[in-house]
Amino acid sequence: MSGFDPLKLAEETERVVVKGGQRRYYRVGRCSGWYGGIAESHCCGCNLRCVFCWSGRPRDHPEATGEFYGAEQVFELTAAAARRRGIGQLRITGNEPTIGRDHLLGVLALVDRTGFRFVLETNGILIGDDPSYARELSRFRNVHVRVSLKATNPAEFGRLTGADPEAFDLQLKALRNLREASVSSNPAVMTSFATDANLRELRRLLSRIHPSFARNLEAESVILYAPVVERLRAAGIQPKTVAEPV
């Protein structure tokens, strides 16, 4: 089975969601209950097409969604939301924040001057493809990278994301690159479609990169937002487990 190249899709997406040092966002400066409370801004555009993804138009039509914001604008609006609620954590979420590298690094440089902790949620594809991305992230003391593995193995990855199954290895390489660059990081994995045997094998692979990755693997379950229900129905895929929104 073959699928699209997520590196090529990242390039195509960047052309429509990045303009100079600016990035497209569809929502900025809000708070949610994830991680015990976090302030966030939601970016447009991703280089995967996960069947369980809750992002609708901002993922599928990023060229026609949201507005462009500079790094300073995103930081100030997100930090202001955090201060209003007494929250010490920030994130960029909604789609793939590593698209638009200069913009992201600009945001992180501003975070680094504060006491905020930044949780970088990523599919890891771009970090896995280019070790220098991890080295650049290592400059920042307040960043923790959470690599969201979309599946437990290549075949499952291809079925759930639509991408080339071999791109699954880039997610694991991201963890290796982050570890080698001494960047605080951990993996998470979508478990709603996985077998116990495949999860055990994934833990084995993660332990070969570093034992902490197997120990600190977070389990994610699909949340049945309306776009997710439609995508799963269209794909004829039924999750084994589901979760409630936070």
Say if CB 176 and CB 213 are below 8 A apart: no
| Phi and psi torsions of 138, nearest 5° | -70, -10
For residue 4, give the DSSP letter: B
What is the per-residue pLDDT across 129-165, written as a single tens digit (0 to 9) for each? 999 999 999 999 999 999 999 999 999 999 999 999 9
pLDDT score of 226:
86
Domains of the chain: 6-233 (3.20.20.70)
What is the per-residue pLDDT across 33-71, written as a single tens digit (0 to 9) for each? 999 999 999 999 999 999 999 999 999 999 999 999 999
pLDDT score of 16:
98
- Which residues are paired to 243 by β-bridges? 223
Say if CB 92 and CB 124 are below 8 A apart: no
Dihedral over Cα of 55, 60, 61, 63: its sign = positive
Instruction: Indicate the burial class of 243 (C-beta count within 10 angstroms; 0-12, 13-18, 19 or more).
Output: middle
Percent of the chain beyond pLDDT 70? 99
Alpha-carbon distance of 148 to 64, in angstroms, equals: 26
Indicate the average pLDDT of the chain.
96
Alpha-carbon distance of 91 to 26, in angstroms, equals: 14
Beta carbons within 8 Å of 95's beta carbon, 6+ residues apart: 42, 43, 44, 45, 46, 55, 58, 59, 62
Say if CB 29 and CB 81 are below 8 A apart: yes
pLDDT score of 78:
98
pTM of the full structure = 0.95
Mapping DSSP onto H, E and C, the string for 134-177 reads: HHHHCCCCCEEEEEEECCCCHHHHHHHHCECHHHHHHHHHHHHH
Strand, helix or coil for residue 27: strand
Lowest mean pLDDT among 33-42, 114-123, 202-211, 226-235: 226-235
Give strand ranges (E) for 59-142: 67-69, 89-93, 117-122
* Mean pLDDT along residues 114-141: 98
Exposure string over 163-194, b if 16+ CB within 10 A, otherwise e = bbbebbebbbbbbbbbeebebbbbbbbbbbbb
In the predicted structure, residue 1 carries a pLDDT above the cut 60:
no
Q: pLDDT band for position 89 (50/70/90)?
A: very high
* Mean pLDDT along residues 7-11: 98
For residue 62, give the DSSP letter: G
